[in-house]
Amino acid sequence: MLKTVHPLPKLIVALVWLAGSIAVFDASFQIAMILTCVTVLVLLERLSPVFVLALMVPFALFGAGFITTSVLFRQESEFAVQMAQETPFGDGRLQAGIVLFLRAVACGMVSAVFVLTTDPGGFVKALMVNWRLSPRVGYALFAALQLVPDLASELQQMRLARAMRRGALPRRIPGPIEVGSLVVPLIAYAIRRAGDTALAMESRGLGASPRRTVIGAPASSKRDAIFCFVASVWLLSIHWLTSRAPL
């Protein structure tokens, strides 16, 4: 459902939600934001709950550092406590580390909602058309989007070639030594592809004219305004509700 929303209003809403998560230092508010993001991904975008939970793991690991700082090592929690006191709406009644942990997860989930519901190509086109992103930067981003799958394919081919030379099947998950040995060939491949792409773009007259025609750019509609209104009202609502019953 959110995939039909114009990328730029969705980006503004995501930034507002991130600012709200940073400004409001309250555990119940952060939990409400996390539940909202999970509900959107599971119910509206039809993503697997297991996938959504797995998506939260990296953000939880990042936020766990705040808990170990302020809860397990209370004597060294000046940084987290200072952050709690400096936030505009923080009252310092909650464990700073737990709130920071929840805030890391909330910010990560808001970012995940934007990334999982936005087409990268459409986002770049919208930036070029509506926010006058330089064509050089835009086409460079398009080239990078094309290069990432090629890098993965090249990596797999390298691993298969080495496995055939050894006469054994490649490991399902490469070890640190194998990863380290693949870094230099992948960088060389990426540089070669980037050079070829630059020559191709130059030969097609990328810098010949500052005016460009962008085909298939996302168009604005009434549902974008409705989305912004609903998202803003919901953000204010959960702040009002959680401020009346803080954890």
* Contact status, residue 18 vs residue 133, Cβ threshold 8 Å: no
Residues found in the chain: 247
**Residue 84's pLDDT is what?**
56
**Residue 182's pLDDT is what?**
85
**Residue 16's pLDDT is what?**
94
The amino acid at 189: Y
User: What CA–CA distance (Å, rounded) separates 207 from 187?
Assistant: 27
Among residues 131, 134, 108, the alpha carbon closest in space to that of 12 is found at 131
Q: And the tokens for 38?
A: 């999970």
**Residue 245's pLDDT is what?**
66
User: What CA–CA distance (Å, rounded) separates 93 from 91?
Assistant: 6
**Residue 86's pLDDT is what?**
54
Per-residue model confidence as pLDDT tens for the chain (247 residues)? 788 889 999 999 999 999 998 888 788 888 999 999 999 999 888 888 898 888 888 888 887 777 776 666 655 555 555 655 555 555 555 567 788 888 889 999 999 999 999 988 889 888 888 888 887 788 888 888 888 888 888 888 888 888 888 887 777 777 778 888 888 888 888 888 888 888 887 787 776 666 777 778 888 888 899 999 999 999 999 988 888 765 6
**Residue 95's pLDDT is what?**
65
Q: And the tokens for 13?
A: 């809403």
**Residue 80's pLDDT is what?**
55
Domain locations along the chain: 7-118+220-244, 133-204
User: What CA–CA distance (Å, rounded) separates 125 from 139?
Assistant: 10
* Contact status, residue 93 vs residue 246, Cβ threshold 8 Å: yes
- Using only the alpha carbons of the chain, give its radius of gyration: 23
